[in-house]
Structure 1
Amino acid sequence: MSDENEAEVWRRAYDGDGAAFAEIFRRHRDGVFRRACALVDRTHDAEDATAVAFFELWRRRRSVTIVDGTVLPWLLVTVAHTARNQRRGGLRYRRLLSSLPRAETPDAEQEAVAAIESEVLGIRLREALARLDVKDAALLTLTALDGLTVADAAPLVGLKPGAARTRLMRARRRLQGDLATDPPHVTWFLNEGERA
């Protein structure tokens, strides 16, 4: 079945064929999982988001949008929404854990600075994406991370290509602006350690 055209496999999955759906899962699980990993902090969360995306693909198979004969773009949008919801739900808990003091080692200062810089960049990027409209964030991730053209991404988020191009340009500008300045809580956090 792996040499078979995906449109034919999807047609059988659409009709309720579990083996065909399993083939769709085998074809796309790695790409969907990688997409989830780019959006969440923990592997376990990425696994959960991937499972939810495929569950929704099965549950909503009668309304899934196919692009160029594949369900992958639909799965990527779905896993992005799922990961975003997971992130919102666990953000406070993770912030609390990251603020707890850790035991120091001889090279702890350099490791801590590198970890903080990496964490701050990740947090700032995720927060900037979270401030965008859901459709704008989906367009950004589908085009920048998943390599889709604006024309392919537009119908997945319910837009016409011209409107998608305009929204994408504005979203990129806003994201660049948000990342160009240091937010006050990051500056305070980094300066707190220097006072000791």
Structure 2
Amino acid sequence: MVAGAVGLDDAQEAGGTGELDDVTLVSRARDGDAHAYEQLVLRHQGPIFRLAVRMLGSRADAEDVTQEVFVGVWQRLGQLRDDAAFTGWLYRAATNRCLNTLRSRRPVADDEADQLPDRGPVGKPEREAETSAQLAALRSALRGLTPQQRACWLLREVHGRSYEEIARALGVTSATVRGRIARARAQLAEVMSPWR
């Protein structure tokens, strides 16, 4: 019997790692359980990818960032002091990787950002066209924010992170986060006012 198979059988007897909470999976992954880490990746890769795609405006860059984040977190998992802090640590790694990517590349072209998937309602062509135009306007407005404002706004409004979690992820104060979000909201409200 293969050593990896023994660990998997034990996990299945205990109810399977798919049913375990993040804290237990992180603890097992830190002890070298690759299957536990795989479950963490499966659980969190969607939200991290969506954050990256919205921050970067490019599916290809978002895929690269997502992969780099999960590989890097796996390599540094032993440095995590509190297993319960895993999700915040993951968002911090993803946000920082996105900000570094934005600093190091050319601005996103309009046609590249417009390739992001639209998930508007299906039905009447007029409604689909209006929804598509709204989403294009929002993507454009998001590109108009500074990378730091975009990160704060996305983490708060799309991913539901608290001000304190965002502050820890970005290495700033909660007051700074609140200010960036307020400026982002004001700028987005102004740009999106024709759609109200």
For residue 60 of structure 1, the aligned residue among 48, 60, 76 is 76
Structure 1 match to 2:34: 18
TM-score, normalised on structure 1?
0.62
The whole-number CA distance in structure 1 between the counterparts of 2:179 and 2:18 is: 41
Amino acid at match of 2:89: W
For residue 87 of structure 2, the aligned residue among 72, 77, 92 is 72
| Secondary structure at 2:23 match in 1 | helix
The whole-number CA distance in structure 2 between the counterparts of 1:30 and 1:97 is: 21
The whole-number CA distance in structure 2 between the counterparts of 1:128 and 1:117 is: 17
For residue 154 of structure 1, the aligned residue among 158, 167, 170 is 167
The whole-number CA distance in structure 1 between the counterparts of 2:109 and 2:42 is: 32
Matched, 1:129 2:146: yes
Amino acid at match of 1:128: L
The whole-number CA distance in structure 2 between the counterparts of 1:78 and 1:152 is: 12
Q: Is the 8 Å Cα contact of residues 56 and 102 (structure 2) preserved in structure 1? A: yes
Matched, 1:46 2:55: no
- Tell me: CA distance 1:57–1:139, structure 2 relative to 1, closer, same or farther (3 Å): same
Aligned length: 161
Q: Which consecutive unaligned segments of at least 5 residues does structure 1 have?
A: 99-113, 183-196
Matched, 1:144 2:157: yes
Q: Which consecutive unaligned segments of at least 5 residues does structure 2 have?
A: 1-16, 114-130, 192-196
Q: CA deviation at 1:7?
A: 0.9
The whole-number CA distance in structure 2 between the counterparts of 1:127 and 1:156 is: 22
The whole-number CA distance in structure 1 between the counterparts of 2:112 and 2:162 is: 39
| Secondary structure at 2:32 match in 1 | coil
For residue 49 of structure 2, the aligned residue among 12, 29, 33 is 33
Q: Is the 8 Å Cα contact of residues 163 and 178 (structure 2) preserved in structure 1? A: no
Q: Is the 8 Å Cα contact of residues 153 and 181 (structure 2) preserved in structure 1? A: yes
The whole-number CA distance in structure 2 between the counterparts of 1:145 and 1:123 is: 16
- Tell me: CA distance 1:158–1:59, structure 2 relative to 1, closer, same or farther (3 Å): same
Q: CA deviation at 1:118?
A: 6.3
| Secondary structure at 1:91 match in 2 | coil
- Tell me: CA distance 1:154–1:169, structure 2 relative to 1, closer, same or farther (3 Å): closer
The whole-number CA distance in structure 2 between the counterparts of 1:14 and 1:157 is: 24
Post-superposition CA distance 1:66-109 (Å, at most 9, x none): 58x362232223222222333343325747989xxxxxxxxxxx
| Moved beyond 4 Å, runs of 4+ | 95-98, 114-121, 176-182
Structure 1 match to 2:176: 167
Amino acid at match of 1:150: Y
